[in-house]
Structure formats: C-alpha cells, structure tokens
Structure 1
Amino acid sequence: MKKMLNNRYEILDKIGDGGMAFVYKARCTILNRVVAIKVLRPEFSDDEEFLLKFKNEALASAGLAHPNIVNIYDVGQDEDINYIVMEYVDGMNLKDLIKKKGALDYSYALDIMKQIAMALNQAHKNGIVHRDIKPHNILISKDNLAKVADFGIAKATTSSTITVVGNVIGSVHYFSPEQARGGYIDKTSDLYSLGIVLYEMLAGKVPFKGDTPVNIALKHINEDIDFEKDIPTDIPKDIKGLLYKLTQKKQSDRYQNAYELINDIEHIENNIELDFEEDYELYHTQKLDSLNEELKASISKEIKEEGANTNMRKKSKNKISSKKKMTILGVLFALILSFSITFIAYNLKDLFITKNYEMPDFENNTLEDATSRLESIGVSVQVRNELYDSAVEKNHIIDQIPAAGSSIRKGQTVKFDVSKGGEPVTVPNLVRKTLDSAENILKESDLKEGVIDYEFSSLPEGTIISQKPRAFTEVEEGTGIDFIVSKGEEVKLVRVPDLVGKTLEDARILLVDLGIGKIKYEENKNKKEGVILNQSLKGGQHVEEGKKIDLIVNEYKEEKVEEPSKKIIEKQISFALSEEEQTVRVVVKEGNGAKAIYDKTINVQESGNMITVPIQGYEGETKEYEIYVDNAFYAKTTAEFK
C-alpha cells in the first residue's frame, strides 16, 4: 500500500479489512486531521459497473449528515487504487465490543439500538436502504456514541461478490427473510437486521448458526427465533416485545419505519408500558408444516360434515357429494404437493447444482477473511504452513494452492501458507539519540521508522524525546517504531509596549515578559521630567520573551553655582545587599529624599552583593544619604567631605 494517496492522505496504519475493502488510519495533510480511508480490494478494480455504483453510492451517502452516521469526506482514485475518505472514530466496532463483554446490559443495548435507529431514520428519509446492518458496521466511540458505517456500499455490490446466496447481498447471520429469498428489499429489511443485532447484544450471540451460509439463510426463512433459550429472563417484557416485532418474517408485521421504533424505545426509557401482549401470537411466524396441518384439519372437518348429511339426502344427491369430496381431496393434495416441492427446492437445490468459481488472489489477505469468503461458497480451508515472514503481516496469507485464477468448486479444499509475522527482536533504546543515528540502529535491528511527531523540548532540536514501543520490549521483525522528536525550546514572541511618555515605574509594570536594559538620562525642557524619551525596541513589534529594552529618561540638569572659595571633594559610599536576592532595583537619594543620585537594577547573582556609589560635596560639608531596595527603605548613612 502506498504511503501517500494523491499527495494528500498520509497512510499511518492498517486498522481493518473486510470482504470488499481494506481500512487504514490516515492523516489529511491539507486539513491536518486524522481520517479513515477505505480502499477497494484489487479484485473489484476491473469491474466498471461495480466501480461506478461504488462511487455513486458513496457520494449519495456523503449527504447523510447525522451524528450517528460516519461522515464521508472524499471519494477518489490514485492510479488503480479506489478509495473513500471517512470520519475516523476512535473506539471499536460493536462486534468486538460483544466479543469482549459478552451479552450487554439491556439499558446500554437499548441506548445503542436507539442511536442506530436514528441513523436509519435519517437514511430512509433520504431514500437509502443500508442492506448490511450488522455489528461490524456499527462503531462505538470512547464516549459511547454509536455511528453507522458503510452506507450505500452494500447496495453497490454485484453478483461478482463471493458471499452470495443466489444474488442475495449482505451478511448471512443478519439477513432478512426477503434478502435470503432474493426478494424485494425495503427499509423494513434494515429493521429486521437491526432486530438480529439487538438479539446479539442481549444474548451475546446470533440466533441462527449453520454449516454453510445457505443453511443459515434458510433458517431465517423457515425457522422461528427461540427467544426463551438465549435471552436472559430479567429482560423487561416490553424489550422482548420490541424484539419480536422487529424480527417478524413478513415485512408487513414489522415496524414500518424507524420512527415507530424510536417512539417505542422512548416509551420504554420513560417507563411507559407498551401494549405487546395481545400481539405476541400474531407476531409468531408459523412453519409450513403447521400451516398444512391446519389446512388438512379444516378440510377434514368439512368432509365429515358432508358425510353426516348423506343419510338425509336422496341417492341422486350422493353422486354430487362424492364428486365434491373428490374435488376437495384434489385441492388438498395439490396444496400439499406445492408446499412440499417449494420446501424441498429450497433445501436441496445445492445438492444437484455444482457451481464453479474463480479462485481469488488471497496473498496478503487475512486468513479469517479468506476462510469466510471461501466457506460461504462451500469451499474448505486448510493451513499448510505457518512461517515467519516480515514482509507479510501476522495471520495474513503468504501463498495459496490452487493459484489465483484457477477454477474451484463446492466441497474442494484449498491450502494456505500463513505468516507468523516477523521473527521476534528486541527494541533498542533510542531516546536522546538523533533521528539519523536512530535510523541506522533500526536497520541493524531489522526494524523501521514508524510515525514521527514533533514537540517543543529542552533537548536539542532533532533529538528523540520518547519512543513507542518502549526500549527492551520484544516485537516482530519489521515493526515500525514511533518517535516524538524535539523541535528545540519553544520561542515565545511578545508584543513590545509603547513606553514613550511614561515613567520608569510605568515601564516596570508594563514590561512583564520583557526586561529593562540600560537606562540613560537626557534633558528635554519641552517634556515632563522623569518621563521616557526613547526606547531601543519600537512599540508594537514582536520580540522574543525576556528581551531587554534600553531606555532614555528625561532629567533636568541643575545649574550649579561654583563657589571658588570651596573645594569639591569626591568620595564613595559602600553597602551590602542580601546574598539571597536575585535581581533588585537600588536607589540612593541625597538629603531628605529630594534627589536620586543612583538608580540601577542589579543582578546580585552576577554582580555580587556589594554596591559602591560615588558621591561628592564641598570641603567641610556633611551629607545624609537614604538607600532604597525595590522601593522599600533599606538603610541610611552619613558622609563627611574632608
């Protein structure tokens, strides 16, 4: 299978296969979403009529927008590959759920039933009959939302499909009687199949089993469903009544549309009792032999009544009576003969007709799928060898006898060589290695790269953060190892605020994700003192988080009157900050806090905790200085200028 379809859909993993198609999990590279892709089996790709119906039906089903129907996104072709792109449902199908849990709680089963009925109601209103309702086509998401899949696909199947009874289409365990006969199929046929699904949810198994699909189909036509045998006794009678009505042999005795069924389910959910009791016997389908017995008893009674009147009539009347008896007996014989011939024809037709089929190419198909398709036409399957083969998936067919294209018939046995997958190998530890080196290690271990995703990390770009399966676990040769690879540290961009005209205090509040760099002071008499005149990074632009901005602050210069008679002395004051501090703002003011002679932001861890501030004064003068740390009073000192 290609890794990419039409340069848009990246194939990630195979998640299923069936009689007509393989299903893959994929990623749409344009919309960046996970989807499911159904790819038609190669043996159908040359059937032009089938392809046309396949695409037309898929396009028709794409219009069925409903929360309980799997959405169809796209239909396409890439060379000889025909595919349908659908919604990916993260969960499991109902068949697997029943296999896992067995019989389901009846309240849960009824909820699933209602959701399926709502999907069918939407389809039937749009003129689409599913014709292949079965647990395999019902997906249950992790939040218990039921979604019906494969709308219209079953309708596109032709007589070239192997799983047929005559020209009947569908899954034999869920056939309606009219499907088994090859008769007229309508929306009540879907409801019958839905009834069989409900039976399986409640009982944990299907009602009819047989050696061949033909035997099972005939049971749907001729045999009653034994509701007392497998359905738990604690199931409410109204649910049993609903099940009876769904699975009637005659289409006219069933629910006539999904809306009626939904309405009854809602009545049961709201504890409103349904009036089913008087209808149970009416819904119970009679067999042909019981009908014959009733007919014989009725005619026998009429004959006896005629005989009782014979003695009261004249001799001439006896001739007429005898003639009437003969007529009745003739009708009885003809009816019995007609019923018998019909019954025998259904049950024995396969004994006298041996149909030849062309052996399909089953290489790379699952053994389960090949067995199902061949047994449906009466051909037996035997596993000749189980072999390790990394090129063929586990439980998939490597080789077959007879070869594809050969003639096969009912009763014949075909043989398969089946893959056990690749030989077991140990997964190496690839965490903290680069992708390039990991590729070489995988080749040496007979493994390959799987799905690669990327995340931000403190590890260098291109380094593997994690892997799946984990290191030192045992997997098959040829298994793909999924990686999460580092994209390096995430660079967060922040917007630079406009600080011009604001004070330093305002700037510190606004620069939450940025820092203040160098501060210079200039004088501009046309601007208010203490406001920012310019900034190194323009307001409005986006820069990396943590970037520092240099500022120019407006400061009026005092006019100094020189006193020639006094000498100016330069000194310095020193003080220590706490070693536990990180980055602090230090302000030193002269006198009573009137003027700041020192205002800097200090990184204590980088510059040390000792601070030295130059000061000056006239000879003989004494000055006081106040020290503030992060706007809080820290200390007070006095300096004498001698």
Structure 2
Amino acid sequence: MDTTLKDPMVGRVLDRRYRVDARIAVGGMATVYRAMDTRLDRVLALKVMHPSLSTDEAFVGRFIREAKSAARLSHTNVVGVYDQGTDGTYVYLAMEYVAGCTLRDVLRDRGALQPRAALDIVEPVLAALGAAHRAGLVHRDVKPENVLIGDDGRVKVADFGLVRAVDSQSGVTTDSILGTVSYLAPEQIEHGTADTRADLYACGVMLHEMLTGAKPHSGGTPAQVLYQHLHEDVPAPSALAPGVGQPLDALVARAAARHPEQRPADAVALLSETRAARGLLTEAELDAVPPAAKGATGSPVGGPEAGAAGADGGEARTSVIPRPVLSGATEPLNATTRLAPPPRAPEPGGGGGGGRGRRRPRPWMLLSGAALLLVLLGVGIWYINSGQFTKTPAVLDKPQAEAAKVVEDAGLDVRVTRDYSQRVKRGRVIDTKPEPGERIRHTGTVTLVVSRGPEIVKVPDVKRRPLAKAREALKGAGLEPGVVKRRFSEDVPSGSVITTDPTPGTERSPGSAVALSVSKGAPVEVPDVVGDDEGAARDELRDAGLKVKVRGKRVFSKEDEGTVARQSPADGAVAAEGDTVTLTVSKGPDMVEVPDVEDKSEDEARRTLEGAGFKVKARRIFFGDTVFNQSPGGGDEAPRGSEITVWLR
C-alpha cells in the first residue's frame, strides 16, 4: 500500500507556492517530498522539519542560519538550496531535485567498486567539499547517504551544514546511529570539534568502503565503533581487496589518519593528491574487479544500474535524498486505485434459459424497499436543509480587515486571535481555524490568527541588583541568565550585577541568554603577616577589610612559636573586600640532636646528617676527605632543615 496516501502533507500547498506531490523519504529530522514550485513551474525537493523539532526555537534558528550558509554555495557537485521558509508550524527547505540514487544504494546493490569507479565518485565529492571549505563551511556529516548519483551520472553532495546531532525527540535508531558514527573523525568523538579535516577523514573511510565493500570499523554497538575510531588505524584497502594499488592504500591512509595534523589541510589539497594517485595507477589496477563486487559489469557509475537502485522510492533505501519520479504502471499512486468487481454469483438452477430459475419479488419485499427509500429520502432532505456546508476561504497573509471581509462575504462569522510570527508581517493572517479549504457549516465561525509581528523582549536593567534577584528578573522577562563573570568593582557591592551583555533595553528573542558581570567588591592587596604575632596578624588583616581563618593544627617552622608561619593568599596578592585569608601558626623550630660525624669521610658524613634532616655545607682544607670539625657540634640541638658546616682535611 502506498504510504503517501496516508501522509497529510501530500496535496497541500506550502507558503502558497510549493505543492507537495509525493513523499520521497523520512529521516530523523525531516521528511523529504517531491514538490512543484507553482510560481516557477519546476520540480524540486522539499525538506519539511518534523513538528516535534519545529517547536524548538534554538534548533529552528540554527536550521535557518545554516540553510543560508549552504545557499551561498554554487557548485555543480553541490545540491542547490533554493529557498527556506515557514508555513504555520511547518519549517521547510526547498532544494534541487536529483533523480537517481545515493552512493549507499550503489554499494548495497553492487558491493565493492572498481578503483576507477570509486575515484570517479570521490573526486567530485572532494570538489564539492573543497568549494565549501574555501567558503568557510564544514559539512560535518559526509557519508554515502549524503552522496547523490543522478541518472545522468552526475555526483552531488547533499545536506551541507544542515546535519547535526538530534536529541531524543528525533527518534533515531541504533542502525541510524551506526550509519553516522562509522564516518566520525576521532576528534569529533573525543573533543566534539569538527574542522575541514574531519570531512577528509569521512572521505577516507568512504573511499575504503567503496574499494573493499566493507566499512573499516564495525561493531554491534556505536560504542564499539567509536572505540575503534579512537584506537585503531583504518586498514589498507589492499588487505581486503588485493588488486588495489599502493597509491590508493597511501591515499586512504593519508585521508583517514587518526591525528588531524597528519591529513591534508582541506578537500582542495586532498583532491590534488587523489588526482596524483590516479595518475600513478596502471589501467589494470584502475579496472581491477574487487572480490566483494556483486556482479560488477563495468557499467558507468550513475548509469542504468545506479538509476534502478533508487527507483523503488522506498523509505528504507535512504532518508536524505529525492527519488526519481516513477512512471507508468509502476507509479505507486496508480497501483491500487482500481479494484476488479467481484464475480457474479451463479443463478439458481445453473443459469439455464427460459427464466425458470428466477423468482418474482414478493409484495412484502416491495413494501420494505419503498419504506427504506422514504427513510433515505428524509435523511437526505434533513442533511440538505440542516447540514449545509461550505469551505473555509483562503485568507492567509491577507490584512486583517480584508480577510475578515472575505470570510463575512462567504456568510461566516469572524473571530480574531493574535500570535507572534517571525515571518508574517504584523496585522496579517498567520492561520485560520478551520484551515483553508476545510468544510464548515454556513452558520459557523472562522477564527483568524493575526500576526503580532516578531516576538521580542527587552533586556531589563538589573544593575546593582544581587545576582539571585537579577536572574529572577531576566527569567521574568522571558530571557535566560547566561555566563557569569566576576570582577572587582569599587562602586558596586560584592555579589551584585555591574553590567549585562546585551545592555539594558536591547531587544532580543525570548529565551536568549544574557551574560552577567558580577562584582567581587573593591580590590584589596593582602598584607604580609608571616612572622607576626597571631593577634597582631588578625588585627592587620581585618583592618584591611579581610576576614581571617586560623588553621587548628600548628606546624614547625623557622618562625617563633605563636607567630604566623604561613598565610594564604600570600602577601602582595589582590583579593576582594570580605575575602578570607587563612593563617597557619608556628609552634617554633623542630629541634633535632646533631649527629657526631668527626673522623668520618665526606660521603658518610653527608649521609648521616641528611638522614637526620639537616643540610650539609663542606669546607675543605687542602685536599683532605676526612671530617675533623663540625658546627654545630655533635650532640648539640639545631632546627630540622638547618645547615651543618663540616671541615675536611
């Protein structure tokens, strides 16, 4: 049964311009339809975001920004982006329609490809990526599903800058996750970063798959595949396909190097290396049939075989590309539109002649039929008189007064509500309830939803407010408290807001983040209190506007007992008024008995004194090596860590 018959989008006209003709594919973020641009009379592909994602303003905003970036690309190997817009709850992207299939379809149907065919595909892919890289764009999701091969053999790359990770509401499955992680660069997995070299890694993996018919890393779960990306190099294609030449092994190793600095700078550089590798291959190497090929015939890539791979229009084939229009008896919409009538029941008596098997209708049967006819006639008269219907007029994007007049002229009542719209001008109709074209009684009411214009809020003035109060004020205005930076201020009390970014009065969309700069108070230079009496140190720090905390455990130090041995922060540091300085109080030097090392060799004396916790300074008379005197002397007490002088002769 054709699934397009169940899709409510089929037959709609989005934005009063794009007529949706058939559903092509369904993905995690959007559904792709074949549509007709009624204004320019051309077939195109319409990607409509799923309603569950269209309510996420941040996601929609990113979708729109990146669509604009992708539309800047004008290259023969890039799927063109024509338009982007919204129609009520529908957010859509109008793009070039490519009749054909994807590289995934080719790999599924043909297995591994001959090196010549693989290079014929990867070179235009690199040309497309090179144009994007030089324009400052990174694809971030290069994979066979995003490489389109037209029926005319042209290779195009789709979904530039539009594919990102989608949260749980996109409903992705383990299989789709595996399909994506197989081409992620190690730096995307480990650090979440993706520059031009991440696209090259995906191309290297894709080239390996084309040459061998298998992905270089495989596993039953995404975690297993991710681990291999991080810890294992992409193997040489010749290990699985012995006919692959050494230049292609080197090319795959260069593109899919685990460390990004070992890859070329961008796709333009890799394209140059790819063409150089092709030039080093012999004709036999270019036309070698890999072991994993499925009945390869040498037909040009994108020819009849490739076209047939995508001709069934099934959603399981791919979720990212338009499908060729089916024709004739294979068109799904024509496949189930007619049913053969049931066979006629045999007449009693074997259907013989003379009419002997036929029965004349009985009188009670005639009366029952007449009664039934009267009932049906009465129901029909009631329906016509009491249930008259009309259709809701199409008044979208009309000024409120004009739309109301159209509805009233149709004999319907008008009710007006208002809502915000980023696209429809203030005072014009965004939507109607019922929707245009829906059936409504002649006595019914049509609700016009009129645009208030873009929804914006102003950043409130929260200067000098405590941080908690400032956050409450921002949330109350429909904004989100953003990054908090703390800095010194002599004017604003500690913990209160100094400034906001954007500044007060700036207009922003609801939900936008506002950064806050919060005061740490006036700066205070921490005084040096090491060696001071504990009480005097407390007073000096408090006079400077600082709080004092004394550690309960005292330590041995060179400072006198009861004085400050250490402080944190140290002297000279800059703290905020009201910050705390922690003091450690000395319990005096740790006195240790000095070992007697006279008449010992220098090495033995050093080991003995250092083992007791002292430092050693040697003074030599002539060239002797025996200790004849020491200071302090053996048996005396000295602070642990102090220096003992020995004289040698």
Q: TM-score range by the shorter chain?
A: 0.3 to 0.5
Of Structure 1 and Structure 2, the greater strand share is in 1
TM-score, length of structure 2 as denominator length: 0.41
Q: Rg larger in 1 or in 2?
A: 1
Higher relative CO (Cα under 8 Å, sequence separation at least 6) belongs to 2
TM-score by length of 1: 0.41
